[in-house]
Chains A and B, each alone.
Chain A
Amino acid sequence: KNEVEQSPQNLTAQEGEFITINCSYSVGISALHWLQQHPGGGIVSLFMLSSGKKKHGRLIATINIQEKHSSLHITASHPRDSAVYICAVTLQTSGSRLTFGEGTQLTVNP
């Protein structure tokens, strides 16, 4: 079993819809990261969380440490949001390296 699990694997939405991507982890972490990978391959860091909630524009990330769960929400989705969203964690036992989930492929149709 992977230490980081994401759901769903694939998600298709219509423009304007509210989107939620979930991430669960099974071990103790120091921080959780949400990354975005565009079709060209580049990876952008969206959020780094160790507690609570963060918001940036239409993106909101939350984490519940007790439940070992995080969600990434996109409000008023747009076709340009189409990308792979990756949840990654820094494990308490592994320093600052990232351990990744398998990613969620999001497609937003106009």
Chain B
Amino acid sequence: DSGVTQTPKHLITATGQRVTLRCSPRSGDLSVYWYQQSLDQGLQFLIQYYNGEERAKGNILERFSAQQFPDLHSELNLSSLELGDSALYFCASSPTGTTIRNEQFFGPGTRLTVL
């Protein structure tokens, strides 16, 4: 158990809908990363938050947004869902966002299926 929790574990929804994925980092970790794993693209970085502020952005679609709250949990919002958004979404946490050699601890993932 990495200490990172994600809810829900599975999510099945329809095209055009909006969903929210939630992540709670390990106790004391200030940085949260969101990654997407799809069959055709593999694992890709989406976005990073550090202590409530956006730190880095990757291949995140405009239909997707995220935030990190004062208690450090993070939410990833996916809207106007398309079939191609079906994927495993992981969050990972690390103690800081400024030390580039930090190990990242992964949550169990949320499997999103868009029908």
Contact digits for A41-70, partner B, Cβ 8 Å, 1 yes 0 no: 111110010100000000000000000000
Q: How many residues of B contact A (CB 8 A)?
A: 29
- B103–A48 touching, CB < 8 Å: yes
B38 within 8 A of A: no
What does DSSP make chain A's interface, helix, strand, loop or mixed?
strand
- A96–B48 touching, CB < 8 Å: yes
B31 within 8 A of A: yes
- B88 proximity list for chain A (CB < 8 A): 41
- B35 proximity list for chain A (CB < 8 A): 98
Q: How many residues of A contact B (CB 8 A)?
A: 23
In whole angstroms, what is the CA distance A43 to B90 when docked? 9
Chain B residues near A (Cβ < 8 Å) = 2, 31, 33, 35, 42-45, 48, 55-56, 58, 88, 90, 92, 94, 97-106, 108-109, 111
